């Protein structure tokens, strides 16, 4: 995968980012259609690519729990994987006991299956998945993030006030920046949307490297974990053999229409500058 030709390895990384507009936030109401489409497209989803059945830990977003990831975990189970919920209640951020619990879970699951663990994280859960991989790459096979704030910009989301209230951290805490920022140490796929009403899409761009990629989809932040197009590309990424990771191929016509390169300008950029 060739590095981006943009001046910064993460576009927008060094300038302040604004949170998504009120219009984009209002458009999050589209999420109900994404959740409904999960059931309607199940016959198609059942034919998604299958892999080797390795273990996967699924992390929920801010103030969300394992209930929100049931559709995703059900889909993974159907494909023959061993999905694990994070089992720590609602996600109120990377508190010390939460970090310890996640580290212990990765170790336990990896030891049980004698295989590296893939981690899928939605929103804040993706940032935490990225931090786990940076901390213990020898146990993590790959990371997939959904609309996650990966760049550490403190106020580029519409949820930063909620985060500060429930986590006990300031959104610009240097320790958090250190946990999130860094070149991927394992294969990493960031799935993001330029019409995300919660997280500025530029915050979701993974650091450019030979083992990372960014895939743009049409989705809301709140519906991403049940969006059929998102689920399909997750299946495609997980189906790769360990040690043989390659960037997603957009050669098929429908792939190029649904899964776009976020670095290319589109009209959606006008909604999310």
CATH superfamily, domain at 22-271? Alpha/Beta hydrolase fold, catalytic domain (3.40.50.1820)
Is the model's pLDDT at 250 over the cut of 50? yes
Q: Please tell me the predicted confidence (pLDDT) of residue 268.
A: 58
What is the tens place of the pLDDT at every residue in 195-219? 999 999 999 999 889 999 999 999 9
Q: Please tell me the predicted confidence (pLDDT) of residue 269.
A: 62
Q: How many other β-carbons are positioned within 10 Å of the β-carbon of residue 241?
A: 8
What is the tens place of the pLDDT at every residue in 58-74? 999 999 999 999 999 99
Is the model's pLDDT at 37 over the cut of 50? yes
Mean pLDDT (the chain, rounded): 88
Q: Please tell me the predicted confidence (pLDDT) of residue 91.
A: 96
Q: Please tell me the predicted confidence (pLDDT) of residue 152.
A: 64
The domain ranges of the chain are 22-271
What's this model's pTM, rounded to 2 decimal places? 0.90
């Amino acid at each position: 995968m060739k590095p981006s030709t943009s001046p910064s390895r993460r576009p927008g990384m060094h300038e302040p980012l604004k949170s998504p507009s009120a219009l984009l936030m209002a458009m999050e109401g589209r999420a109900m259609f994404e959740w409904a489409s999960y059931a309607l497209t199940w016959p198609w989803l059942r034919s998604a690519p299958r892999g080797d059945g390795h273990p996967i830990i699924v992390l929920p977003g801010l103030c969300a729990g394992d209930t929100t990831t049931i559709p995703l975990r059900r889909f993974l189970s159907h494909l023959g994987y061993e999905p694990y919920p994070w089992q720590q209640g609602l996600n109120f951020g990377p508190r010390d006991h939460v970090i310890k619990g996640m580290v212990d879970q990765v170790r336990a699951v990896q030891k049980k299956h004698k295989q590296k663990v893939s981690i899928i994280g939605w929103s804040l859960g993706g940032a935490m998945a990225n931090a786990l991989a940076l901390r213990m790459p020898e146990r993590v096979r790959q990371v997939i993030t959904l609309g996650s704030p990966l760049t550490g910009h403190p106020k580029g989301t519409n949820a930063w006030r909620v985060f500060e209230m429930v986590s006990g951290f300031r959104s610009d805490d240097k320790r958090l920046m250190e946990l999130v920022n860094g070149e991927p140490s394992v294969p990493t796929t960031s799935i993001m949307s330029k019409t995300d009403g919660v997280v500025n899409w530029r915050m979701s761009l993974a650091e450019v490297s030979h083992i990372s990629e960014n895939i743009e989809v049409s989705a809301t932040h709140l519906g991403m974990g049940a969006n059929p197009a998102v689920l399909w590309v997750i299946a495609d990424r997980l189906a790769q053999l360990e040690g043989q990771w390659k960037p997603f191929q957009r050669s098929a016509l429908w792939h190029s229409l649904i899964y776009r390169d976020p670095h290319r300008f589109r009209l959606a950029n006008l909604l999310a500058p």
